[in-house]
Amino acid sequence: MYKRDDAVSPVIGVILMVAITVILAAVIAAFVFGMAGNVSKTKTLGVTAEQTNATAIIVTNHGGEDVTDLDSLWINGTTSAGATMSYTVTGTALKSTGATSTVTTATAGEDHIVVIGYWVDGSSQVVLDTYV
């Protein structure tokens, strides 16, 4: 009487090797055929918001690797009273490190500020989302 369980390990090994080969071929094919080429690069820009008094918020551009390609900033917010505010900042002063924009709020209290950067290549991303 012979036990025939010695072939289980080689069969499992072959199945695992085939699976690894198929996965590796799929990853290589994705790069070769350009499926992974549509991933956009994250832009680098430092922006802060500071409430200087009861009705003014200063948004400061601290620069970054992609500041020279910046086209505009959209400053959007919601006041503590629920009112919305929206400003678009453009121009050459925007591209310099230390450039500021003042956002006027109608009420004192904690305001939600979202700053979205738009670049000359058509891309956009949120660069600041905070409460001040």
| Pairing label, strands 70-78, 112-119 | antiparallel
Question: What percent of the chain clears pLDDT 90, i.e. is strictly above it?
Answer: 18
Binned at pLDDT 50, 70 and 90, residue 35 comes out as low
Q: What pairs with residue 129 in β-bridges?
A: 114
Kindly indicate the confidence band of residue 128, based on its pLDDT and cuts at 50, 70 and 90.
very high
Reference 120, options 102, 94, 86; nearest CA is: 94
Give me the mean pLDDT over the 95-121 stretch. Answer: 82
To the nearest whole number, what is the mean pLDDT of the chain? 82
pLDDT digits (tens, 9 = 90+) for 2-31: 666 666 677 888 999 999 999 999 988 887
pLDDT higher for 32 or 92? Answer: 32
Find how far residue 51's CA is from the centre of its chain. Answer: 24
| Mean pLDDT score, 35-64 | 82
